[in-house]
Structure 1
Amino acid sequence: MGTPSTYELCVLQVAFLSLPHFKFIEHQEAFNLNNTAQWPWFYLRKKQLFLFFQDATHLVTKWRNRLLSSTAQLIVGQQSITIQHVADIIENSNYTKLDHGLNRSDLNPKDRQNYNSCVKLASDNVLSILLDGADTYGTYVYLRLLQMIILAYVEKRTRIEERLQSAWCIVFVCRMSWLQNKQSKSTTASTTTKTNAKSKCFFTKTAYLSVELNAHTLLYIVLLVKQKQLPREALNVYLFNSQSCESMFRNARSLSGTYSTMVNFTAVDFLRRSQKISLLNSIKCNQVSQQDDDNILSFPIHHKHNRNNNLPSLENLDDMDQLNVEKIISNTFNQAIELTAN
């Protein structure tokens, strides 16, 4: 999903709007939720046949690229957002790289897919420096939202409660800022002023739709798991990205023979190879979880892959029945108000 028109089509299909010629909700395999009628902040219909996720890695880099834009003058509330605040931290002699972990290359606007720089910009050390700085609160809020996107959709070990809090805090902050921006445009009649107000919005329409789409889909999946319509493993949303699909496809292609010149295969071949990959991953998973057992069959693992052996457990999914969604969202709304109040 790369263009705004594609996002809008997905949003329509997910059922933010009705499509009279496509009766998705009447399909016999459609999911059906309960107890969402009293949630005015939740826009999805109870019945859904398709669920969509915007690739979180691309959303993170898109958020960073907006900050690095040389033409946009971003604000949140009355606070300005600028990459110069981060550049000042790097150039400040009072801070060393040990304090913030940043390089000048992390601020290169031409490197648009640099995910590692996004993680650095949203680190706790950088946020702490910005929070203590003068007139840097707007940039702090922007990078704090970037950190929430990473926590909600990319980090493997984030608890479900924290995923919901992070995802919906971003949504509420964007909605509040959108309303403020709309009010400022309605009070001015000048076309130039309206254009400037639009350019100062700290998120693009595409990014906003992605944030709304992901938050609604995440909550929808959580509710399906609570109602026993989906297994707990469905909450591993960090796997819902194009990188996992590309990795699976590369692994499937690598199963060709050493002397084979065939690089393409049919859908049946892909499914057959995927089953082999699943079996190999199962063996690897069992080997990692039973390292202290001397009776298991052990395979050598490359030293570069040893650091990835600690697979996320499902222990943070055991309390799904006690998860109070309404309380979490209420606290998140208050957090969003506090974040934008200054």
Structure 2
Amino acid sequence: MENLFWTILESDLCVEIPTFIKNGFDYSNFGNALVFKEISDQHIDDLEKFIRYDIAKLVEIKNPEEFYGRIFAKDHEKFIFLPGERVLIKELVAHVKSIVDQNGKNTGLSHFKSSKEIKTESISSGARSGIGDNVEQMTYSYFLNQLLSNARQNSDRKPGGFRYDPDTRKFAMYLRMIMGSLAYQTLQANLEGAIPSLPSINRYIQSSHYHITEGVLRTEELRNYLNERSLPNVVCLSEDATRVVGRVQYDSRTNQVIGFTLPIHGESGLPIPFKFPARTATEILNHFKTGSVSTNLIVVMAQPVEKKASPFYLLLFGSDSKYSAIDVKHRWIYIKNELAKVGISVLTISSDSEPRYNAVMRDLSQLGVASSIKWFSCGKNILNPFYVQDIIHLITKLRNLILRTKWLNKKLPFGKFKIDMLHVYVLLYMYSKGEHQLTESVLNPADRQNFSSAERMCNERVTALLDFGVENSEATSLYLKMMRDIMSAYMDPNLTPLQRIRRLWYAVFVFRIWRRYIENHKEFTLKDNFLSLNCYACIELNAHSLVLLMVHLKETNQPQLFLPNLFESQQCESTFRQFRSLSSTYSTVVNCTLKEAAARISKIQLQNDIMHGTSEHFVFPRLKKKSEFVEYNHFDLPSKDEIYSEIENCQKDAIKTAKEFGLIGKRSAKTFECKINPHETKHTQAKRSDPILNVRKNIAELDLNNIKLKDYTGKLKDTNFDLTSPYVEILSDDGEQTIVKKTSLCWLLREDCHKLSSDRLLRVRHPTKKLRTQPNKNFKSKISKRPRKPTKKKMK
């Protein structure tokens, strides 16, 4: 141990080595402070090289075997550390520190300290001697220096005159939003003069102008957002919806009633903002008579085509889900044209596989239109954006399909074999959990959006075990492999462009051949024995879009824009998760109303701007985690001929696989084209539910003359307030005036509130009663047949 320690001491692992130690100092007495770095594997490799080649030059040793023990072998140029010695070296600093920490027991080692401890001690000594005495030593933490500087500047001022630098104010705003009022107030009370007070922070947030108004398209704000951060004027759009609490509320900032569904403009497809003003009591009453309450929040995000750039909230509005696909088509075209007016181009548009979004994508991309190449069936206009379905939603759809083979007895014939979830369950009980990483809860079909479950199911371990140990599971293994290929084509950062093409198009051709096999057998139907049309169209759409994207970026010489991880709608999903978790301490509220959701998203946008604007001085774990994600390796994009040649090879391999599985005969056709019919989006009249949710059934009979709300007439009788005031005036038939709050009037007019479960799984659970997870239908009858205990009368 001693020889090994001094060998490290002579190397570059020691940051500070007193010269007299190297010059023959008696090292039996430790009387000097040594400062060590954290030792890593790379440092140990450098130490091995040092011992092999350099240590003999520094120290003149006649018999190195006797002096250094095992450090020098007969052939010291082949020296390596044993595994146990490597662990000992890595833990050396922590071991020495633990010895020093024992009070009074090791006085000889009392001067050993780490570099972090020495810096902290210098700051502490500076703080004890006076805040302004040793400011030059306070370089350990920017935030700590700012706190001390603010405290020193505000020490001679009155509390109402405290001033703070902009960085501290922004960071304090961030802390207030993530901590909540109580936690921040407690922190500020113990750091008075160092950070702003809670009322000051609330005023800063209100005056930050980060207010997102429902139904307003923020094109100018997006242009400023890109220019301020020197981001390219190319974005990827994504649109998605989530459930919100159906409640109508009054918004004093806009003097509007928030919670009703805004009407959709026929030509632009955008909602018409400011359609529910709250100027008078009669006007508010009419809104409740005719309005439809929003139960969904639709968000349109703009993701800059840059690796570490945060998305921008372009548009949000409430909806009752009574909109048509033609509204979505007009909205996407209108947004694309409006962004082009401010110099921003749209590269892709993504969404989940919702039927209306899927229909519009099929229409705009002209999926199913034949071309000169038989296997390519997409007549997309190159001037339009590229359309990509979210890969995570697509993989969960494929997972749910194979799960239904067990829980709903859905048959998936695949030539000589069949795709069956029972093969995976056999694997579950044949091998240990450590070998396949599967559990029964992972295979639960009730959770229909469990992407981690899909990842585990199509893992290489599972498919290898199926091929090795489960009989007749060839088709099931192939299905899971195709799931993995479809997922990795967009999500694996280490694949080359041609590898992405190969994996995705091989799966496409296998699905095409399988689809023709189902069509050629009368005992099977596409509805019962194949993928749904929605799921199959998503696979075809993503495959064609991947080819078109590569060709377009290659021809325009923009390979840096090929970032497949951004061609998805997970920006919207991340937003939904973030604003549901935006609750303060001691709060478990995850659901919110439309008004609250807009306010939370405004705060999220402010948080993102603070993080990116002050990241040079402050550390944000969320931003740091995002910056450390696995980056996509940049490869040169292939030419069109190389892409087409690779796809034709995929077709040959798929035909070979199909023959092995019995999907086609030996003399089958050599080409398999897409059989999806072109879709044309048509206008359909949306049917609205009646009665309207959250509106009083007897609202027509409501008498405003006899309401029992708190009357503010005495306080505001002599006050002149206009129509934008948060108060409203009600006149009775006899001319008597009553002044009430608009918020109270909205509360009176709504009858109930559509609540949501805080458990997200309950909102995505399959509603069918055929699942094995539900109680047996004969459960009650079995209970009734059990012998009952004799009553007291019978016992007598």
Query: SS of 2:502's equivalent?
Result: helix
CA 1:301–1:66: 2 relative to 1, 3 Å? same
Query: SS of 2:413's equivalent?
Result: strand
Aligned equivalent of 2:411: 73
Contact 1:16/1:44, CA 8 A, preserved across alignment: yes
Query: SS of 2:386's equivalent?
Result: coil
> Does 1:39 find its partner at 2:373?
yes
414, 436, 451: which one aligns with 1:100: 436
Contact 1:141/1:339, CA 8 A, preserved across alignment: no
CA 1:152–1:315: 2 relative to 1, 3 Å? closer
> Does 1:340 find its partner at 2:678?
no
Cα deviation for residue 320 of structure 1 reads 4.0
Looking at structure 2, the residues matched to 176 and 148 of structure 1 have their Cα atoms a distance apart, in angstroms, of 17
> Does 1:15 find its partner at 2:366?
yes
84, 88, 91: which one aligns with 2:422: 84
Mapping of residues 197-216 of structure 1, within 5 Å: 198-201=527-530, 203-216=531-544
Looking at structure 2, the residues matched to 9 and 309 of structure 1 have their Cα atoms a distance apart, in angstroms, of 34
Aligned equivalent of 1:50: 385
| Superposition CA RMSD, Å | 3.6
Aligned equivalent of 1:329: 647
What amino acid is aligned across from residue 337 of structure 1 in structure 2?
A: I
Q: Structure 1 unaligned segments of length 5 or more: list them.
A: 19-35, 186-192, 256-260, 285-296
Aligned equivalent of 2:568: 241
Looking at structure 1, the residues matched to 435 and 478 of structure 2 have their Cα atoms a distance apart, in angstroms, of 20
Looking at structure 2, the residues matched to 102 and 114 of structure 1 have their Cα atoms a distance apart, in angstroms, of 13
Highest CA radius of gyration, 1 or 2?
A: 2
Aligned equivalent of 2:467: 131
CA 1:128–1:194: 2 relative to 1, 3 Å? closer
CA 1:165–1:7: 2 relative to 1, 3 Å? same
What amino acid is aligned across from residue 153 of structure 1 in structure 2?
A: Y
Cα deviation for residue 39 of structure 1 reads 2.3
CA 1:38–1:100: 2 relative to 1, 3 Å? same
What amino acid is aligned across from residue 226 of structure 1 in structure 2?
A: K
Looking at structure 2, the residues matched to 99 and 194 of structure 1 have their Cα atoms a distance apart, in angstroms, of 36
CA 1:323–1:106: 2 relative to 1, 3 Å? farther
What is the aligned-residue identity percentage?
A: 25
Mapping of residues 235-314 of structure 1, within 5 Å: 235-247=562-574, 263-264=597-598, 273=605, 277=608, 280=611, 297=616, 299-302=618-621, 309-313=627-631
Aligned equivalent of 2:447: 111
Q: Structure 2 unaligned segments of length 5 or more: list them.
A: 1-351, 583-594, 661-796
61, 67, 74: which one aligns with 2:396: 61
Aligned equivalent of 1:165: 502
Aligned equivalent of 1:318: 636
Cα deviation for residue 166 of structure 1 reads 1.6
Looking at structure 2, the residues matched to 111 and 262 of structure 1 have their Cα atoms a distance apart, in angstroms, of 27
Looking at structure 1, the residues matched to 379 and 494 of structure 2 have their Cα atoms a distance apart, in angstroms, of 30
What amino acid is aligned across from residue 100 of structure 1 in structure 2?
A: H
What amino acid is aligned across from residue 528 of structure 2 in structure 1?
A: S
Cα deviation for residue 122 of structure 1 reads 0.6
Looking at structure 2, the residues matched to 282 and 129 of structure 1 have their Cα atoms a distance apart, in angstroms, of 50
CA 1:97–1:245: 2 relative to 1, 3 Å? same
Aligned equivalent of 1:289: none
Cα deviation for residue 341 of structure 1 reads 2.9
Q: Deviations over 1:56-106 (max 9, x none)?
A: 1111000000001123111222211111100001111xx222211111111
Looking at structure 2, the residues matched to 282 and 234 of structure 1 have their Cα atoms a distance apart, in angstroms, of 24
CA 1:86–1:226: 2 relative to 1, 3 Å? same
Aligned equivalent of 1:292: none
Contact 1:156/1:236, CA 8 A, preserved across alignment: no
Contact 2:402/2:420, CA 8 A, preserved across alignment: yes
Cα deviation for residue 42 of structure 1 reads 1.2
Contact 2:367/2:380, CA 8 A, preserved across alignment: no
Q: Deviations over 1:160-193 (max 9, x none)?
A: 22221121112111111111111113xxxxxxx3
What amino acid is aligned across from residue 559 of structure 2 in structure 1?
A: R
Pick the structure with more helix per residue: 1
What amino acid is aligned across from residue 550 of structure 2 in structure 1?
A: V
Name the TM-score, length of structure 2 as normaliser: 0.34
Query: SS of 2:520's equivalent?
Result: helix
Looking at structure 2, the residues matched to 199 and 180 of structure 1 have their Cα atoms a distance apart, in angstroms, of 14
Looking at structure 1, the residues matched to 535 and 559 of structure 2 have their Cα atoms a distance apart, in angstroms, of 28
Contact 1:57/1:154, CA 8 A, preserved across alignment: no
Looking at structure 2, the residues matched to 332 and 79 of structure 1 have their Cα atoms a distance apart, in angstroms, of 22
Contact 2:560/2:634, CA 8 A, preserved across alignment: no
Looking at structure 2, the residues matched to 103 and 254 of structure 1 have their Cα atoms a distance apart, in angstroms, of 28
Contact 1:160/1:316, CA 8 A, preserved across alignment: no
Looking at structure 2, the residues matched to 283 and 316 of structure 1 have their Cα atoms a distance apart, in angstroms, of 29
What amino acid is aligned across from residue 176 of structure 1 in structure 2?
A: I
Query: SS of 2:398's equivalent?
Result: helix
What amino acid is aligned across from residue 598 of structure 2 in structure 1?
A: N
Cα deviation for residue 115 of structure 1 reads 0.7
Looking at structure 2, the residues matched to 105 and 318 of structure 1 have their Cα atoms a distance apart, in angstroms, of 43
Looking at structure 2, the residues matched to 322 and 50 of structure 1 have their Cα atoms a distance apart, in angstroms, of 19
Aligned equivalent of 1:291: none
CA 1:86–1:225: 2 relative to 1, 3 Å? same
Contact 2:353/2:538, CA 8 A, preserved across alignment: no
Contact 1:221/1:234, CA 8 A, preserved across alignment: no
Contact 2:611/2:623, CA 8 A, preserved across alignment: no
Aligned equivalent of 1:223: 551
